[in-house]
Amino acid sequence: MSDEPVMRTQVGIVGAGPAGLVLAHLLHLRGIDAVVLESRDRDYLEHRVRAGVLEQATVNLLKEMGVSERLEREALVHHGLELRFGGRRHRIALDELTGGRTITIYGQQEVVKDLIAARANAGAPLLFEVEDVRLEGVDSARPVLRFRHHGEQRELRCEAIAGCDGFHGICRDAVPSDVLTVHERVYPYAWLGILAEVAPSSDELIYCQHERGFALHSLRSPQLTRLYLQCDPGDRIESWPDQRIWDELHTRFACDGWELHEGPIVERGITPMRSFVAGPMQHGRLYLAGDAVHIVPATGAKGLNLAVADVRVLAAGLVRWFDEDDRSLLDAYSETCLRRVWRTQYFSWWMTTMLHRAPDDRDRFQANLQRAQLDYVTSSPAAATSLAENYVGFEHDVSERIV
Ligand code: APR
Ligand code: PHB
């Protein structure tokens, strides 16, 4: 990219998370110019531990985009998951219930690594460590991104801007407050997540409901286990020494004939649980995607997948506009995406409330409902199918292939 203080591109993309990077590559494959601006450095993005479950449609898209070579070699394909409650194990056969669909375990930072490499190989602009990004003129025909890079003030003139800068980004604020409606639920619990250097104790994910709170067994590789515990949102990580974490995990996962393997904890953190939707997802020539406009509680494993689904719709709309001067898909962007967003919010809320302990449940009303719900899901093929088809995810909302 030129070092001139004023640059031009077709699409200015703020944020190099999964949303920004998938969008940039989809546009690149269709010959549309984009510049990606990212506030962090490359190393940070490539090592930030986030979610790790890819829906079938996400994997299919990454394959179609030609960025799945390592994924196909290293990722783990899962055909089922386990629900554990009352000290008993119940398998949900995802593939059998959904006509052969599966989920794929591959860490988000691995997806990000592959996409950054694809962008670098294409020689396409991706600027790390940009500072002080500002949006101007989003409701005009000439939106501009101003920012600082290596100490220099720069200006990027765009035809459209994609706000892919996550929940704490700045793009959402460019939509006037009387236009943007926010819907939010903050749950009275959080997740304490750890990454442990030890072989997983199960080949499949375990979602565990227990009277002391939810626990989740996941994995990243044959040598790396990812575990989560429901905790109080006010908890500090310092009040969870290793032994307390392992004791609590052993208690919640306890069941006959199964053992949890312990290993050195190499990463840990506490994440609040929230549902958040802001709409419309577009204003003038600004299009918001991914965590910038919606957060789902992690119980459904949907955050990354939803971000990818958004930008697939956005890319199709931008291609139609630039190639055919037809804005119809782009004008419908927000409406198209919000249908999937709300359906996914519902599923994520449903999984979350089924599995977590409600802290103020004095008469155990909630606990009894949860037990009834879990009994139903694990005994009725219709209920199990509903969980399975939502968990593996639905097809994307655009029919045409991008590549
Ligand atoms: N300027 C430039 N970049 C910014 C700015 C800013 N002002 N603010 C944030 N960013 C960058 C962040 O550093 C981050 O790399 O935007 C990126 C946003 O990426 P994500 O937070 O990963 O969001 P998204 O791409 O929407 O990915 C979907 O869903 O549940 C989650 O874990 C899942 O992170 C995944 C997300
Ligand atoms: C993860 O592996 O990080 C993970 C898996 C399933 C979830 C959430 C996170 O529901």
User: Which pLDDT belongs to residue 397?
Assistant: 84
Which residue has a Cα nearest atom 6 of ligand 2?
A: 301
Q: Residue 175 CB: number of other CB atoms within 10 A?
A: 24
Q: Which one, of 205, 236, 230, 223, lies nearest residue 92 by Cα?
A: 205
User: Which pLDDT belongs to residue 17?
Assistant: 98
The span from the CA of 214 to the CA of 302, in Å, is: 18
Tens-digit pLDDT profile for residues 234-272: 999 999 999 999 999 999 999 999 999 999 999 999 999
Place of tokens 């955050």: 303
Say how many Å lie between the CA of residue 30 and the centre of ligand 2.
32
Ligand 2 neighbour 294 (Cβ under 6 A): no
Q: Give the atom of ligand 1 at the shortest distance from the alpha carbon of 19.
A: 25
Ligand 2 neighbour 27 (Cβ under 6 A): no
Contact 314, 162 (CB under 8 A): yes
Stated pTM of the model: 0.97
Say how many Å lie between the CA of residue 38 and the centre of ligand 1.
9
User: Which pLDDT belongs to residue 3?
Assistant: 63
Which stretches in the chain have pLDDT values below 50? Answer: none
User: Which pLDDT belongs to residue 49?
Assistant: 87
Alpha-carbon distances of 95 from 81, 302, 381, rounded to whole Å: 10, 18, 13
Tens-digit pLDDT profile for residues 221-231: 999 999 999 99
Say how many Å lie between the CA of residue 314 and the centre of ligand 2.
26
Q: How many residues does the chain have?
A: 403
Long-range contacts made by residues 57-62, C-beta under 8 angstroms, separation at least 24?
57/305, 57/308, 57/309, 57/393, 57/394, 57/395, 57/396, 58/104, 58/304, 58/305, 58/308, 58/309, 58/393, 59/104, 61/22, 61/308, 61/312, 61/396, 61/402, 62/111, 62/114
Pocket of ligand 1 (CB under 6 A): 14-20, 37-40, 45, 50-51, 108, 130, 133, 164-166, 169-170, 290-292, 303-304, 307
